[in-house]
């Protein structure tokens, strides 16, 4: 481990001050399942950890039908997937966070951590993007909200400025006749990084699609939205043909690299298959 100091923040303002004073190598410590390993392996330079888990609102979540869901950025994901409201209203989120690492990782890993680690393959990211989630950010210049889909600037990089950190992630209440689903492909059953992952969301009026969002992970330098896939659906009747057209748009939008997890050809193919499969489930959920 590199030389590092540890500081505990008990309020949002205290965390902003510690992060601002600490400079760019002061890092937020939530569940630590990525940043501690990266500090040890020197994948990121860390001078100080600012522990945000003692800020009460960072470790809780609230759901109600008018405001939707707000998740404190450091809340461990097992608390989320064990919650009845989240299971009922946000199954696409549960599908993603139940496969992040194993049981011991899920006891610590958080949505805020997954977001700020900004891996192109991060599993919760494409789920949050399909659900239209918003990152609530606090910093020296006040608060701002940024869509998760606008958060990433490159592998491991994002729009956060010095002294800023993610306080919460907000999800709207799912509208009537809407549904979402999330899937990933890995060569084993669990404990692996996605070859491709995909989140899909649709809202229906009868059999006509009124809104749609499709997000793909591990096929570009950041997780991406696929607007062409949404356009292939919106305003059209939901049929196997329109879903195939959306899947084809995902195939075209994917610009993956080849690495030990998969080839370009396989990842493009998976983008199509996972778009189709998640849309099938999202539509089923939207029909209720």
Binders of other proteins in range 263-282 (CB under 8 A):
none
- In sequence order, what E strands does the chain have? 5-8, 26-29, 48-51, 61-64, 68-72, 134-139, 142-147, 152-154, 157-158, 165-171, 178-185, 196-205, 208-217, 224-225
Rounded least distance, CB 198 to other proteins, Å = 22
Is residue 4 near other proteins by the rule CB under 8 A?
A: yes
Rounded least distance, CB 29 to other proteins, Å = 7
Span between the terminal Cα atoms of the chain, in Å:
51
Binders of other proteins in range 93-112 (CB under 8 A):
101-105, 107-108
Among 162, 172, 191, 258, binds other proteins (CB under 8 A): 191
Q: How many Å apart are CA 19 and CA 164, to the nearest integer?
A: 7
Residue with tokens 């009868």: 206
Is residue 143 near other proteins by the rule CB under 8 A?
A: no
Q: Pick the closer one to other proteins by CB: 27 or 285.
A: 27
Among 68, 72, 76, 262, binds other proteins (CB under 8 A): 76
Rounded least distance, CB 65 to other proteins, Å = 29
Question: Own/partner pairs for 141-145, CB < 8 Å, 24+ apart?
Answer: 143/167, 145/170
Q: Are the C-beta atoms of 109 and 31 separated by less than 8 Å?
A: yes
Rounded least distance, CB 145 to other proteins, Å = 29
How far is the CA of 244 from the CAs of 78, 111, 199, 248, 275, in angstroms?
34, 31, 16, 6, 9
What's the burial of 64, exposed, middle or buried (CB within 10 Å: 0-12/13-18/19+)?
A: exposed
Among 63, 78, 165, 182, binds other proteins (CB under 8 A): 78
Rounded least distance, CB 166 to other proteins, Å = 19
Biggest alpha carbon–alpha carbon distance for the chain: 60
Rounded least distance, CB 288 to other proteins, Å = 28
Binding letters toward other proteins, positions 30-69, x by CB under 8 A: -xxx--xx--xx-------x-x-x----------------
Number of residues that bind other proteins (CB under 8 A): 29
Binding site for other proteins (CB under 8 A): 1-6, 29, 31-33, 36-37, 40-41, 49, 51, 53, 76, 78, 101-105, 107-108, 189-191
């Amino acid at each position: 481990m590199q030389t590092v100091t540890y500081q505990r923040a008990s309020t949002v303002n205290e965390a902003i001050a510690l992060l601002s004073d600490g400079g760019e190598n002061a890092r937020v410590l939530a569940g630590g399942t990525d940043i501690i390993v990266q500090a040890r392996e020197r994948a990121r330079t860390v001078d100080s950890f600012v522990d945000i888990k003692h800020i009460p609102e960072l470790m809780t979540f609230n759901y109600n039908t008018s405001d939707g869901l707000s998740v404190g950025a450091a809340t461990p994901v097992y608390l989320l997937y064990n919650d009845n409201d989240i299971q009922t209203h946000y199954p696409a989120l549960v599908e993603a966070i139940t496969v992040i690492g194993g049981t011991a990782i899920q006891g610590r890993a958080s949505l805020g951590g997954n977001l700020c680690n900004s891996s192109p393959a991060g599993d919760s990211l494409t789920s949050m993007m399909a659900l239209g989630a918003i990152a609530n950010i606090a910093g020296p210049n006040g608060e701002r909200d940024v869509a998760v889909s606008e958060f990433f600037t490159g592998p491991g990089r994002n729009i956060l400025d010095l002294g800023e950190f993610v306080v919460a992630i907000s999800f709207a209440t799912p509208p009537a006749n809407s549904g979402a689903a999330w899937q990933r492909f890995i060569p084993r059953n669990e404990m692996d990084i996605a070859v491709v992952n995909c989140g899909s969301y649709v809202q229906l009026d009868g059999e006509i699609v009124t809104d749609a969002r499709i997000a793909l992970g591990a096929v570009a330098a950041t997780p991406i939205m696929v607007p062409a896939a949404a356009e292939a659906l919106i305003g059209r009747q939901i049929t196997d043909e329109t879903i195939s057209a959306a899947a084809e748009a995902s195939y075209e939008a994917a610009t993956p690299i080849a690495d030990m997890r998969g080839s370009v050809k396989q990842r493009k193919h998976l983008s199509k298959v996972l778009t189709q499969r998640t849309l099938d489930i999202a539509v089923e959920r939207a029909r209720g």
